[in-house]
């Protein structure tokens, strides 16, 4: 099992798409093991996007991500990091394939609805940045036995 961090960005919140997008992750079989609504502190977002600090869009990105409350969540499942990124599609909604979340709901590179961790190391660091250990819950759902075979 693998865990990945996702953030429903301000555009997903303003467009009231959280429920529909979350359904896609649930439909796939991924399990929510942590979730909260928060107004992100600027310092937390700056750290989260530190790797993009030199990029021309960095300041706008940080302002955008702190412009409204967001929902941060941790999803769990086999190969969850790759599975979630595949469900999201390409960064820019214009290029994202139909059938993906960004391909179906987006037309922009900044307003791309959901952030998701891009690798095992970043997932670990991002989960630790946004969640305390006791905010994550380990549990089994009744349907899990029919999603992943033993
Ligand atoms: P995300 O997956 O959250 O990771 C970095 C974010 O930077 C990305 O999604 C986009 O929202 C944003 N981004 C990437 N490229 C550009 C760009 N060229 N212009 C504006 N924003 C961008």
Question: How would you write the pLDDT of the chain (150 residues) with one tens digit per residue?
Answer: 999 999 999 999 999 999 999 999 999 999 999 999 999 999 999 999 999 999 999 999 999 999 999 999 999 999 999 999 999 999 999 999 999 999 999 999 999 999 999 999 999 999 999 999 999 999 999 999 999 998
Q: What is the pLDDT of residue 150?
A: 82
**Beta partners for residue 36, in sequence order:** 72
Domain ranges of the chain: 2-133
Q: Which DSSP string do the residues of the chain spell out, in sequence order?
A: -EEEEEEE-HHHHHTT-HHHHHHHHHHHT-EEEEEEEE---HHHHHHHTGGGTTSTTHHHHHHHHTSS-EEEEEEEETTHHHHHHHHH--SSTTTSPBTBHHHHH---SS--SEEE--SHHHHHHHHHHH--GGG------GGGGGTS--
CA of 52 to the centre of ligand 1 (A): 9
What gap in Å lies between CA 144 and CA 2, rounded to an integer?
A: 15
Catalytic residue ranges: 115
Q: State if pTM tops 0.95.
A: yes
Residue in the structure block whose two tokens are 């750290």: 47
CA of 108 to the centre of ligand 1 (A): 9
Domain 2-133 sits in CATH 3.30.70.141:
yes
**CB within 6 Å of ligand 1 — which residues?**
52, 57, 61, 91, 109-110, 112, 115
């Amino acid at each position: 099992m693998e865990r990945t961090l996702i953030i429903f960005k301000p555009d997903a919140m303003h467009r009231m798409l959280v429920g529909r997008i979350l359904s896609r992750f649930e439909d796939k079989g991924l399990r929510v093991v942590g979730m909260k609504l928060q107004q992100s502190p600027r310092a937390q977002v700056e750290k989260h996007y530190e790797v993009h600090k030199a990029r021309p869009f960095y300041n706008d990105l940080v302002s955008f991500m702190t412009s409204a409350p967001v929902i941060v969540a941790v999803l769990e499942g086999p190969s969850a990091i790759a599975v979630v990124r595949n469900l999201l599609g390409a960064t820019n909604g214009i290029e994202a394939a139909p059938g993906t979340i960004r391909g179906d709901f987006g037309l922009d590179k900044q307003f791309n609805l959901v952030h998701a961790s891009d690798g095992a190391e970043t997932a670990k660091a991002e989960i630790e940045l946004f969640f305390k250990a006791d905010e994550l819950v380990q549990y089994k759902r009744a349907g899990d036995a029919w999603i992943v075979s033993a």
